[in-house]
Structure 1
């Protein structure tokens, strides 16, 4: 670990070692429990990047990345639910609209947990969710293909695209209501535990006071670029967890051989994530992202191989990490990321 010591790093490791990792196998099969979310609320981790004046920690991005890495390596399902929270917090911290004063403190302190419903904006020019100005607010119609944390989150950040190609982001309660209906939780090969659903929107109306951002789609794509082209801390968290499984299986030499390249790519990826112009050096970001995928895949495969047949038992850590790694290959994927990854695989 390379970031400077910070109290929330110790908090994250205590939570990971004492609660998340010991129960990860059960959570994988049964679902993320409310008790896990309550523990994260109490920990202060939901406010890691939130302004101090609103009850957050105001920690640097280096700390925020490492916290996410620690949580993902302990229980990827729990990590995935809580990681949705941090983008709404950042967006609220950057706006001067009325919704900031209504929600930021509650989100920064963990009183409320937020989810996100805007990944579909990335498939533009397709528009799965249309936003239309109506009656001093906005009407949302369409379908949100993926929404994580249903039944755990208090509020959601929803986005739709207008006829003028403007993206409208607004908050609403994360519950069924007039114009909003959720599917049954999806059964997935990995992270079924994260309570992911699809949402049907049929005239969901939200007032102007719920809006946190309105921006041209092209501008949103530029802002969103580093979120998709930077290597995810979760990839490193799962990869390092697989190395620990290797060590426990009596294969420290294999673990050590993989740790060096992993440390190197992690250092390069995190340094680039901190670049002052986040939408520059995209090709380099994508190269590091695909390299991190390669190393995670190698580490999780090695953990399964070292465990032999017993590694395939549903309570086995190796197979769970392997499946979580598969999920991370496509989490937040865009057409640009997919093409870069496939080209890298074709050359390997």
Structure 2
């Protein structure tokens, strides 16, 4: 179990301090404007300059190789400050991990640029969870792989420079390749989706018509069952953004209660903070003390409880704000919409069932 000393050490980690500074100086002050428009590329560049796009990369490529607990805390801080900008940058770490573990020729040139934030990556892979359906088919051709189909979810179009594209072959192999995140023959993006939340993330559908990715740009291949097992390791756990948005909502609930002389708001914030601390402690203990392939039922239960706390915290902030919470400039309604998004982000059937069981 994580002890007090390790928590103190974690709080002093330079990458976490950099995230807090960036959240206070840039992300939080502009979050309302970003929510109403589009995530600025300058925000992504600032996050890169702070070293926060190379958290999972090896030091040999200029990365910081932070412990997993530090990575989770950084994601919480960024999500609580500006959930939309955070979610765009969250896509970046998957391609970085794949490149770091790959021997593909493209690694030597591309990985350092991604680590330094000179280039920003996105990823399209959620469709792979639908196996044996293959919304994106990968077929071996001479010198590479051909991708065909529809990727229904891609975040950061027009903001990202490159993307990792996942497809499944007829014999059950998952193949990931790197392509430029720009229109090209056979690669067509829809208009950005208008969603109840996170519209500013420039999320689109990608139509793929015989997109051929050369072997030099293929960064991962594995059996689908192995990929699904690895993916499940992530989806059974709480998204760090849940803790970040919940904590931000509770902080603002206290601020609002102080301005409005609302003692009931402080009481709600205290009770919800206790629940949040308890479920986060359970989550961290599972991460640090239990194998990722074990305790999936308990992890799903913790995920569901964290989401319930998130919904309650953001709802309490809306209630405390009264009619003003309905204004699009209100942080309360923004956090409430972010909570809706986080309820369904990376939601598998087991995760959905676990959450529904809490009602």
Fold conserved between structures, TM > 0.5: yes
**Could you list the runs of 5+ residues in structure 1 that have no partner in the other structure?**
none
Q: 1:57, CA displacement in angstroms?
A: 0.9
1:247 aligns with 2:254: yes
Matches within 5 A, 1:193-342: 193-250=200-257, 251-275=265-289, 277-342=291-356
SS of match in other structure, 2:36? helix
| Deviation string, structure 1 residues 134-161 (Cα, Å, up to 9, x no partner) | 1210100000101000111011000100
How many corresponding residue pairs?
345
Question: Structure 1 residue aligned with 2:56, among 45, 49, 54?
Answer: 49
> Cα RMSD (Å) of the superposition?
1.3
TM-score when scaled to structure 2? 0.94
What is the match of residue 22 of structure 2? 15
TM-score when scaled to structure 1? 0.97
Question: Structure 2 residue aligned with 1:97, among 81, 94, 104?
Answer: 104
| Deviation string, structure 1 residues 33-91 (Cα, Å, up to 9, x no partner) | 12211211211100112111110111111110000000000000000000000111112
Does the C-alpha gap of structure 1 residues 32 and 221 become closer, same or farther in structure 2, counting only changes over 3 Å?
same
In structure 2, how many angstroms separate the alpha carbons of the residues matched to 1:273 and 1:155? 30
In structure 2, how many angstroms separate the alpha carbons of the residues matched to 1:291 and 1:42? 35
Does structure 2 conserve the Cα–Cα contact (< 8 Å) formed by 1:142 and 1:201?
A: yes
In structure 2, how many angstroms separate the alpha carbons of the residues matched to 1:290 and 1:102? 41
In structure 2, how many angstroms separate the alpha carbons of the residues matched to 1:239 and 1:179? 41
In structure 2, how many angstroms separate the alpha carbons of the residues matched to 1:41 and 1:5? 20
Q: 1:341, CA displacement in angstroms?
A: 1.7
Question: Structure 1 residue aligned with 2:161, among 149, 154, 164?
Answer: 154
**Could you list the runs of 5+ residues in structure 2 that have no partner in the other structure?**
258-264
Does structure 1 conserve the Cα–Cα contact (< 8 Å) formed by 2:186 and 2:210?
A: yes
| Deviation string, structure 1 residues 109-136 (Cα, Å, up to 9, x no partner) | 1121110101110111111000001121
1:64 aligns with 2:105: no
Q: 1:195, CA displacement in angstroms?
A: 0.5
In structure 2, how many angstroms separate the alpha carbons of the residues matched to 1:218 and 1:340? 22
Q: 1:212, CA displacement in angstroms?
A: 0.9
